[in-house]
């Protein structure tokens, strides 16, 4: 239920409304917009007499949420969510570029790529230490050693770190080294992982499941938001379709659709979205033109020998050229880089 509180209501009176609803078993979330307080009362409100609540003096209006992802929706939170990671205020109009290898493979690899992406203009270094591989025989990642390497490589170049977590038991460890905790496509609906990630109180990059609708994806974000972590980015990384010329079908529709429905920043991953190096730059440019808040891109200095996702990894020089193009497009769509 969404409650609008009358303008000018005192703080104790707002708190009183919230406290009384909490007593009825609901969880309360608050936003302040246009000089007015909005309260989202979520949970089982069956025992609440809403006609009575409507008569409480501070309450101007009450309406059921028009969408099931109440906290992620713009109805509750009209303004864009903005939060800082390293040097970038994500969601503010300042584009965030996250780039790096699919997997951390070793010290030399991570430092070489970190230097290249930092020079090109990225502010976040990506790299997997726990890898969700389709085959159990493929490289599974370096684990904590990989996280340490990634952190050192990022620190050497003034970058923040994003890295994936696959298991609730790994969350504390990944959060110790990473500035952004990534939930991968395969785990978008792993609810115990989402709860644990929310508890870590680090920004979350929530990838879209490969067969997830936008609503299911927003409901996963709702799990994180309702667990008390508001710093969530949604990452479109392509979905499964009947098309087989590309690895996935990058759903650029999702950008304007989410921008209308939700206040959360939208990041696009054209590397997994296409699976092909020469398709990454066109789709990255299109994503920024369509209103994305940033990009997640795989870059490798020696992709032929990469331990994962070499065929979709850009060479550093290609990434550098792409950043120049993104800068030009950003200017046209009211963004900065
Ligand atoms: C990745 O970012 O390396 C990754 C495994 O992505 P996804 O979860 O989108 O497949
Ligand atoms: Mn990858």
Same domain flag for 164 and 223: yes
Atom nearest to 309 CA in ligand 1: 3
Decide if 72 is inside a domain. no
76 found inside a domain: no
Q: Which residues surround ligand 2, an ion (CB under 5 A)?
A: 102, 309
Q: Which of 164, 208, 308, 309 to mutate to test the pocket of ligand 1 (most atoms within 8 A of CB)?
A: 164
- Whether residue 69 lies inside any domain: the answer is no
Nearest residue by C-alpha to atom 10 in ligand 1 = 185
Compute, in angstroms, the gap from residue 18 CA to the centroid of ligand 2: 44
Tell me, yes or no, whether 103 and 164 share the same domain.
Answer: yes
Cα separation, 298 vs 255, in Å, equals 20
Residue 161 falls within a domain, yes or no?
yes
Tens of pLDDT, residue by residue, the chain (337 residues): 999 999 999 999 999 999 999 999 999 999 999 999 999 999 988 889 999 999 999 999 999 999 999 999 999 999 999 999 999 999 999 999 999 999 999 999 999 999 999 999 999 999 999 999 999 999 999 999 999 999 999 999 999 999 999 999 999 999 999 999 999 999 999 999 999 999 998 999 999 999 999 999 999 999 999 999 999 999 999 999 999 999 999 999 999 999 999 999 999 999 999 999 999 999 999 999 999 999 999 999 999 999 999 999 999 999 999 999 999 999 999 999 9
What 3-state class would DSSP assign to 113? helix
Residues 206 and 94 in one domain: yes
Which of 100, 128, 140 should be mutated for ligand 1, with most atoms under 8 A from CB?
Answer: 128
Total residue length of the chain: 337
DSSP label of 167: S
Domain shared by 239 and 287, yes or no: yes
Q: Which residues of 112-127 are buried (b: 16+ CB within 10 A; e: fewer)?
A: bbbbbbbebbbbbbbb
CB proximity list for 20: less than 8 A, separation 6 or greater:
56
Q: Does the residue 121 lie in any domain? A: yes
Say yes or no: 311 and 196 in one domain. yes
C-alpha 1/C-alpha 27 separation (Å) is: 11
Ligand 1 geometric centre to CA of 250 (Å)? 13
Ligand 1 is surrounded, with C-beta below 6 A, by 102, 128, 132, 184-186, 207, 237, 272
**Last residue of some domain: 17, 33, 63?**
63
| Residue 232 DSSP SS3 | strand
Residue 23: give the domain boundaries: 2-63
298 CA to centre of ligand 2 in angstroms? 7
Total number of domains in the chain: 2
Q: Is residue 75 part of a domain?
A: no
Q: How many whole angstroms separate alpha carbon 213 and alpha carbon 158?
A: 36
């Amino acid at each position: 239920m969404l409650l609008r509180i009358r303008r000018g209501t005192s703080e104790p009176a707002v708190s009183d409304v919230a406290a009384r609803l909490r007593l009825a078993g609901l969880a309360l979330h608050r936003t302040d917009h246009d000089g007015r307080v909005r309260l989202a009362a979520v949970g089982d409100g069956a025992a609440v007499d809403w006609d009575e609540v409507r008569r409480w003096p501070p309450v101007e209006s009450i309406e059921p949420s028009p969408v099931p992802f109440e906290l992620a929706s713009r109805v509750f939170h009209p303004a864009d969510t903005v939060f800082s990671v390293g040097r970038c205020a994500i969601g503010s109009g300042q584009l965030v570029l996250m780039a790096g290898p699919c997997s951390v493979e070793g010290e030399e690899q991570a430092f070489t790529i970190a230097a290249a992406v930092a020079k090109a203009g990225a502010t976040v270094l990506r790299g997997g230490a726990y890898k969700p591989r389709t085959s159990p025989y493929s490289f599974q990642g370096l684990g904590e050693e990989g996280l340490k390497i990634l952190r050192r490589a990022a620190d050497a170049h003034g970058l923040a770190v994003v890295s994936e977590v696959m298991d609730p038991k790994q969350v504390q460890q990944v959060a110790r080294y990473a500035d952004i905790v990534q939930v991968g496509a395969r785990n978008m609906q792993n609810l115990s992982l989402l709860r644990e990630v929310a508890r870590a109180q680090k920004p979350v990059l929530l990838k879209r499941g490969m067969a997830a609708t936008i609503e299911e994806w927003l409901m996963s974000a709702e799990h994180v938001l309702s667990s008390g972590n508001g710093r969530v980015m949604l990452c479109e990384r392509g979905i499964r379709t009947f098309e087989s010329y590309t690895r996935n079908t990058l759903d650029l529709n999702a950008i304007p659709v989410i921008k209308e429905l939700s206040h959360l920043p939208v990041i696009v991953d054209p590397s997994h979205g296409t699976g092909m190096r020469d398709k990454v730059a066109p789709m990255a440019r299109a994503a920024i033109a369509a209103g994305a808040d940033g990009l997640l891109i795989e870059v490798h200095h020696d992709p032929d020998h990469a331990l994962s996702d070499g065929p979709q990894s850009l060479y550093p020089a290609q990434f550098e050229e792409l950043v120049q193009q993104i800068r030009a497009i950003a200017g046209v769509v009211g963004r900065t880089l």
